[in-house]
Amino acid sequence: MPIDPADLNPTGRFSDRVEDYVKYRPTYPRAAAECALDGAPPGTIVDVGAGTGIWTALLVGRGREVIALEPNAEMRAAAPQLPRVTWLDGTAEATGLPNESAALVTVAQAFHWFRAEEALREFARILVPGSHVALIWNRRSRWNLFTLGYREAILSVGAETAAERMTFDPAVFHSSGVFEEPERFAFPHAQNLDREGLHGRARSASYVPKTGPRAEELGARLDELFDNHATDGRVQLVYECEVWRAIRR
């Protein structure tokens, strides 16, 4: 049975992860930001599910206004002050923005938490004709041994796997009826971490236990993984940054 994101409390589940999220979540390649912006007409960018502004920061300094929508008050409060960025409380399915007010909609590491077809219809409503939406994910490598070991450590302690299983199906663009067929782009990316950074990166995930026996076991597994792979006190999580771009009909 398909997972309903609403059943997983997408708005509130990160409230106790904000500090680790700010410190230890990876950023994105600048090439991914350039790809997302490519071809967008002049006008306002709307970043939906902006979190603490990690992706949003890559959109500033381009002569555009940015609206960062984030329903979680704790995450909005933790976001840095960014020039020409306005933070608003809003959701993907109900942005509260006027019709045809956005030249570009971006979503980084968040679309899988949305009700997909509702969100796409809302994006189409606020986008001007000929503009597009860009969905972005840092996908963990499936071939890098350390990165595979990191995922195995998390799953080994029975961390919530429902969130892990929420994959993106590009066919949703077609079924929404409001976007053209999407294009996919991919960019290599990596995150260099010390031991504390590795633990913090794990804690920033909403499905990872922070306290109790499972958290202690995960900590031990991450320490072992670090000791087996570290070079000069650092390890590297390897990603492929994926950008899906689709034009509004």
Spatial separation of the C-alpha atoms in residues 94 and 101, rounded to whole Å: 14
Query: Phi-psi category of 158—alpha, beta or left, where left has phi over 0 and alpha has psi -120 to 50?
Result: left
Residue 52: inside a domain: yes
User: pLDDT digits over 5-49, tens only?
Assistant: 554 445 544 555 688 889 999 999 999 999 999 999 999 999 999
Residue 155: inside a domain: no
Residue 200: inside a domain: no
Query: Per the structure block, which two tokens stand in for 235?
Result: 């390890």
Overall number of domains in the chain: 1
Residue 233: inside a domain: no
Residue 227: inside a domain: no
pLDDT for residue 2 is more than 80: no
CATH of the domain at 42: 3.40.50.150
User: pLDDT digits over 114-163, tens only?
Assistant: 999 999 999 999 999 999 999 999 999 999 999 999 999 988 887 655 55
Sign of CA dihedral 34, 36, 38, 40: negative
Residue 180: inside a domain: yes
Query: Phi-psi category of 168—alpha, beta or left, where left has phi over 0 and alpha has psi -120 to 50?
Result: beta
Question: 167: domain range?
Answer: 5-141+163-190+239-247
Residue 53: inside a domain: yes
pLDDT of 131 reads: 97
- What residues have CB less than 8 Å from 128, skipping those under 6 apart? 41, 43, 100, 101, 102, 103, 248
